Amino acid sequence: MGEKRGLCRVVLADDHVLIRHGIKKIIEEDPSLAVIGQVGDGLELLHFIKKICPDVILLDISMPNLRGMEAIGEAKKICPDVKIIMLTMHKSKQYLCHALSAGADGYVLKEDSDLELLVAIEKVIRGDYFISPVLSGEMSLEEISDCREKKNIPSDSLTPRERQVLKLVAEGRISRDIAELLSISTRTVEHHRANLLKKLNINNTADLIKYAIRKGYILPNS
C-alpha cells in the first residue's frame, strides 16, 4: 500500500472495544495507515466526522443508537469522499446487498484474514470495491452491480427524511428518541409518522414495520 500518497486516515465504528483494539493493531502494522478515531455507535460516528473527515470508515452493522446501515448514507453526506467498509459477522447476501445499496464501498467479514482487511482498504482507496471472498463467489457480477446501482431500493414517494424515520420506527424507536437522534422536534417526528401512514395507506405501526422489512428499509430480525 506504499504507492498511495500520504497517510490514509481510518475511523473505527464498532460497539465492542476489544474488537476495535484488535482492528487498530492490524491496521497500524501498515505504516501507510493511521487510526484517527474510534466510536461505539453510528451517532457517535456522525458527530466525530463532522469535526474531521477520514479517508476510510470501518463500520459495524449491529450497533446501538444509529446502526451501521443507517449511518452509511448520513456519513457520505457529511464526508462525500469517504470510503466505507462494512466489517461484520453477517454472512447473508441480503445484508451485503443492503449495504452496497446504502453506499458501502466494501464488505469484510470479521472471520476474514488480516490480509483481506488490508486489501479491502487498499482497493476502496483506489476507487474499486471489495467483497469478502466468502460472499463474492455466491453472487454474480450482475447481482453485485444491481445492488451497487441501488436497483433493489424501493421506489416510492417518501422523502429521505421520511425514509430515515421509517427505519427508526421499524426498529422500535419512540418519537422522543427519534427526535433526539435526528436533531429534530418530537412534533416533527409525529408529522413524519403521520405522513408515512397516509402516503403508504397504512393504519398502524405494526403494518409500517412489515412494510419496512418487505421493502428492504430494514432487515428481518435486525
Contact criterion met (CB below 8 Å) for 85 and 108: yes
Q: What is the pTM of this model?
A: 0.73
Torsion from C-alpha of 99, 105, 107, 112, nearest 10 degrees: -170
For residue 60, the tally of other CB atoms under 10 A from its CB is: 24
For residue 31, the tally of other CB atoms under 10 A from its CB is: 9
**Grid coordinates in use for 12?**
473505527
Q: Note the pLDDT tens digit of each residue in 159-173.
A: 778 888 888 898 888
- What domains can be seen in the chain, in order of their start residue? 8-148 (3.40.50.2300), 160-215 (1.10.10.10)
Q: Note the pLDDT tens digit of each residue in 34-73.
A: 999 999 988 899 999 999 999 999 999 888 767 788 789 8
Contact criterion met (CB below 8 Å) for 208 and 171: no
173 vs 158: CA distance, rounded Å: 19
Q: 74: closest CA among 168, 164, 199, 196?
A: 164
